[in-house]
Structure 1
Amino acid sequence: MSGLMGVKLRRDLRASWSRFALMVVALAVSLTVFGGLLLAWASIGGQTSGAYMSTEPASATIVLDQGIDPARMAALVEQTLKRPGVLRASGRTQFDAAVSIGGRVLSVPLQVFVAAADDPMRMVRFDLKGSWPPAPGEILIGGDSLGLLGVRPDDELTLTSPGGQPLRLRVSGTVYDPSLAPSPQEQRGHAFLSAASLRPALLDQLKIQVAEPGQRTPARDREQVVAAAGDVGAWLQRDLGLAVAEIQVPTPYAHPHQWQADVLLLSLMAGGAAALLLSTILVANMLNNLFTQHIPQIGIMKAIGASARSIRRLYLTMVLLVAAAATLLALTPATLIGRYLLETLLQILGIQSGDLAAPWWAYTGIVAVGLALPPLMALMPVLRASRITVRAAIDHRGGSEPSAAGGVLAGLGRMSWSDRGLLMALRNTVRRPARFWLAVGMLASAGAMFVAGMSLNSGTQALEEERRQKRYWDVEAQLDGPAHADAVAGAVRKVPGVIRVEVWNRVQIGLAGTGRLPFTRTYPDQGHGSVSVNTVPADRVSAPPPLLEGRWLNPGETGAVVLSQIVRDNAVPELGAGDAVRLFIDGEPSTWRIVGIVEEREGSGGGAYATAAGFAAASGQSQVVNQVRVITAGHDERTREAVAAAIGKSLTGAGIEVGIAASVSRTNAASAGHMGPVLLVLLGVALPLGVVGAIGLASTMSANVLDRTREFGVMHAIGARPKIVRRVVVTEGVLLALAGCVVAVIPALGLTAVLGAGLGNLFTKAPLPFQVSLLAAGIWMVLSVLGAVLATEAAAGRASRITVREALTYL
Structure 2
Amino acid sequence: MELNTRWIKIFKDIWDHKSRSLLVILSIAVGVAAVGMINNAKSMIERDLFGPYLAGNPALVQVYVSPFDESLAEAVAGLREVETVQARRMTAATIYQPNGVARDISLMTVPDFNDIQINRLPVEAGAGVPGVREILLERQSAAGLGVTVGDKVTIEIDNQRRYELTVAGILHDIYIQPFTLGKRATGYVSMATLQWLGLRPYYNRLDIVTTTDKYNRAHVLEVAALARDRVIQPAGYTVSRIQVPGYSSDPGQHWAHNQINGLLLVLQVMGILAIFLSGGLVVNTISAILSQQIKQIGIMRAVGAVRRQLIGMYVLNVLVLGAVGLLIGLPLGLLGAIGLAQLAAGFLNFTISQFDLPSHVAILQTAVGLIMPIGVALYPIIAGTRLSVYDAIYEYGLSKEDRKGLIDRLLVRIRRASPPVMLSLRNTFRNKARLTFTVITLTLAGAMFVAAFSTRASLTAQINEVGRYVAFDAALGLPYGTSRFAVEREAQRIPGVTVAEGWTSGSAIVMQADGREGDEIEIVGVPVDIKTIEPNLQGGRWLQHGDTRQVVINDDYLEREPQVTVGSEITLKVGATERTLEVVGILSKHLSGARVYMNYDTFARLTGRQNQADSIRVRAGTTQLGDANAQEQIAAQLEQRFKDAGLSSSSSQTRHGTFEMFTSAFDIILLVLVIMAALLATVGGLSLTGTMGMNVLERTREIGIMRAVGATDSEIMRMVIVEGMVIGLISWVMGLVVSIPITYGL
- For the criterion TM > 0.5, the same-fold answer is yes
2:614 — aligned with what?
626
Superposition map of 1:680-695 within 5 A: 680-695=671-686
**Residue 708 (structure 1) shift:** 2.3
1:247 — aligned with what?
242
1:38 — aligned with what?
39
Q: Flag the 1:365–1:481 CA change in 2: closer, same or farther, 3 A.
A: same
Query: Is the 8 Å Cα contact of residues 97 and 110 (structure 1) preserved in structure 2?
Result: yes
**Residue 349 (structure 1) shift:** 1.7
1:665-707 per-position Cα deviation (integer Å, ceiling 9, x unaligned) = 2211112123223324532322222222222222222222233
**Residue 283 (structure 1) shift:** 0.6
1:258-315 per-position Cα deviation (integer Å, ceiling 9, x unaligned) = 3322222221121111111121122112101211222222222222322222222222
1:307-344 per-position Cα deviation (integer Å, ceiling 9, x unaligned) = 22222222222222222222122111111111221221
| Alpha-carbon distance between aligned partners in 2 of 1:718 and 1:638, rounded to the nearest angstrom | 72
**Residue 632 (structure 1) shift:** 1.3
1:589 aligns with 2:577: yes
Query: Is the 8 Å Cα contact of residues 582 and 591 (structure 1) preserved in structure 2?
Result: yes
Query: Is the 8 Å Cα contact of residues 557 and 611 (structure 1) preserved in structure 2?
Result: yes
1:9 — aligned with what?
10
2:670 — aligned with what?
679
2:208 — aligned with what?
208
1:130 aligns with 2:126: yes
1:585-630 per-position Cα deviation (integer Å, ceiling 9, x unaligned) = xx44332323346244243576022211122233334311121111
**Residue 412 (structure 1) shift:** 5.2
Higher alpha-carbon deviation: 563-572 or 451-460? 563-572
1:694-725 per-position Cα deviation (integer Å, ceiling 9, x unaligned) = 22222222222233233223223323334433
1:170 — aligned with what?
165
1:710 aligns with 2:701: yes
1:231 — aligned with what?
226
| Alpha-carbon distance between aligned partners in 2 of 1:721 and 1:617, rounded to the nearest angstrom | 88
Superposition map of 1:507-522 within 5 A: 507-513=506-512, 520=519
1:294 — aligned with what?
293
1:158 — aligned with what?
155
1:376 — aligned with what?
375
Q: Flag the 1:705–1:572 CA change in 2: closer, same or farther, 3 A.
A: closer
The runs of 5 or more residues in structure 1 that have no matched partner are: 214-218, 521-529, 759-811
**Residue 145 (structure 1) shift:** 1.8
| Alpha-carbon distance between aligned partners in 2 of 1:452 and 1:233, rounded to the nearest angstrom | 48
Query: Is the 8 Å Cα contact of residues 470 and 533 (structure 2) preserved in structure 1?
Result: no
2:717 — aligned with what?
726
Higher alpha-carbon deviation: 741-750 or 656-665? 741-750
Q: Flag the 1:118–1:380 CA change in 2: closer, same or farther, 3 A.
A: closer
| Alpha-carbon distance between aligned partners in 1 of 2:514 and 2:393, rounded to the nearest angstrom | 87
1:532 — aligned with what?
522
In the alignment, residue 535 of structure 1 is paired with which amino acid? G
In the alignment, residue 697 of structure 1 is paired with which amino acid? L
1:92 — aligned with what?
88
Query: Is the 8 Å Cα contact of residues 612 and 623 (structure 1) preserved in structure 2?
Result: yes
Q: Flag the 1:579–1:506 CA change in 2: closer, same or farther, 3 A.
A: same
| Alpha-carbon distance between aligned partners in 2 of 1:685 and 1:8, rounded to the nearest angstrom | 37
Q: Choose from 178, 183, 186 the match for 2:179.
A: 183
In the alignment, residue 182 of structure 1 is paired with which amino acid? P
Partner of 1:686, secondary structure, is helix
In the alignment, residue 346 of structure 2 is paired with which amino acid? Q
| Alpha-carbon distance between aligned partners in 2 of 1:540 and 1:41, rounded to the nearest angstrom | 44
Q: Choose from 729, 732, 735 the match for 1:741.
A: 732
Percent of pairs identical after alignment?
A: 26
| Alpha-carbon distance between aligned partners in 2 of 1:600 and 1:722, rounded to the nearest angstrom | 59
Query: Is the 8 Å Cα contact of residues 524 and 596 (structure 2) preserved in structure 1?
Result: yes
Tell me the matched-pair count. Answer: 728
1:318 — aligned with what?
317
1:359 — aligned with what?
358
2:188 — aligned with what?
192
**Residue 565 (structure 1) shift:** 4.0
Q: Flag the 1:328–1:481 CA change in 2: closer, same or farther, 3 A.
A: same
Query: Is the 8 Å Cα contact of residues 25 and 325 (structure 2) preserved in structure 1?
Result: yes
Query: Is the 8 Å Cα contact of residues 537 and 588 (structure 2) preserved in structure 1?
Result: no
**Residue 404 (structure 1) shift:** 5.1
In the alignment, residue 44 of structure 2 is paired with which amino acid? S
| Alpha-carbon distance between aligned partners in 1 of 2:366 and 2:98, rounded to the nearest angstrom | 60
Query: Is the 8 Å Cα contact of residues 38 and 362 (structure 1) preserved in structure 2?
Result: yes
Partner of 1:187, secondary structure, is coil
1:537-577 per-position Cα deviation (integer Å, ceiling 9, x unaligned) = 13312677455676543324334443334335437978984
1:631-660 per-position Cα deviation (integer Å, ceiling 9, x unaligned) = 115713333333323323433444423423
Query: Is the 8 Å Cα contact of residues 93 and 649 (structure 2) preserved in structure 1?
Result: no
Partner of 1:659, secondary structure, is coil
In the alignment, residue 564 of structure 1 is paired with which amino acid? N
| Alpha-carbon distance between aligned partners in 1 of 2:218 and 2:594, rounded to the nearest angstrom | 25
**Residue 238 (structure 1) shift:** 7.0
1:146 aligns with 2:142: yes
1:490 aligns with 2:519: no
Query: Is the 8 Å Cα contact of residues 187 and 666 (structure 1) preserved in structure 2?
Result: no
1:609 aligns with 2:597: yes
**Residue 89 (structure 1) shift:** 1.7
Partner of 2:180, secondary structure, is helix
| Alpha-carbon distance between aligned partners in 2 of 1:497 and 1:105, rounded to the nearest angstrom | 24
In the alignment, residue 499 of structure 1 is paired with which amino acid? T
1:283 aligns with 2:282: yes
TM-score for the superposition, normalised by structure 1? 0.82
Q: Flag the 1:557–1:98 CA change in 2: closer, same or farther, 3 A.
A: farther
Q: Flag the 1:247–1:517 CA change in 2: closer, same or farther, 3 A.
A: farther
In the alignment, residue 456 of structure 2 is paired with which amino acid? N
Cα RMSD after superposing both structures: 3.1
Q: Flag the 1:319–1:87 CA change in 2: closer, same or farther, 3 A.
A: same
1:474 aligns with 2:465: no
1:716-742 per-position Cα deviation (integer Å, ceiling 9, x unaligned) = 332333443333323423443344334
Higher alpha-carbon deviation: 292-301 or 734-743? 734-743
Partner of 1:598, secondary structure, is strand
Superposition map of 1:73-112 within 5 A: 73=70, 75-100=71-96, 106=102, 108-112=103-107
Query: Is the 8 Å Cα contact of residues 556 and 613 (structure 1) preserved in structure 2?
Result: no
Query: Is the 8 Å Cα contact of residues 556 and 611 (structure 1) preserved in structure 2?
Result: no
Q: Flag the 1:516–1:259 CA change in 2: closer, same or farther, 3 A.
A: same
Query: Is the 8 Å Cα contact of residues 513 and 582 (structure 1) preserved in structure 2?
Result: no
1:170-216 per-position Cα deviation (integer Å, ceiling 9, x unaligned) = 14133210122221123322222222223211212222222347xxx
Q: Flag the 1:151–1:619 CA change in 2: closer, same or farther, 3 A.
A: same
| Alpha-carbon distance between aligned partners in 2 of 1:138 and 1:119, rounded to the nearest angstrom | 16
Q: Flag the 1:298–1:592 CA change in 2: closer, same or farther, 3 A.
A: same
Q: Flag the 1:368–1:514 CA change in 2: closer, same or farther, 3 A.
A: closer
Query: Is the 8 Å Cα contact of residues 99 and 109 (structure 1) preserved in structure 2?
Result: yes
Q: Flag the 1:694–1:644 CA change in 2: closer, same or farther, 3 A.
A: closer
In the alignment, residue 56 of structure 2 is paired with which amino acid? T
Query: Is the 8 Å Cα contact of residues 52 and 178 (structure 1) preserved in structure 2?
Result: yes
**Residue 499 (structure 1) shift:** 1.7
1:416-462 per-position Cα deviation (integer Å, ceiling 9, x unaligned) = xx533333223322222332333333333333333333333333333
In the alignment, residue 657 of structure 2 is paired with which amino acid? R
**Residue 118 (structure 1) shift:** 6.4
Query: Is the 8 Å Cα contact of residues 248 and 519 (structure 1) preserved in structure 2?
Result: no
Q: Flag the 1:450–1:16 CA change in 2: closer, same or farther, 3 A.
A: same
| Alpha-carbon distance between aligned partners in 1 of 2:135 and 2:330, rounded to the nearest angstrom | 47
2:115 — aligned with what?
120
TM-score for the superposition, normalised by structure 2? 0.89
Query: Is the 8 Å Cα contact of residues 86 and 207 (structure 2) preserved in structure 1?
Result: yes
Partner of 2:650, secondary structure, is strand
In the alignment, residue 725 of structure 1 is paired with which amino acid? I
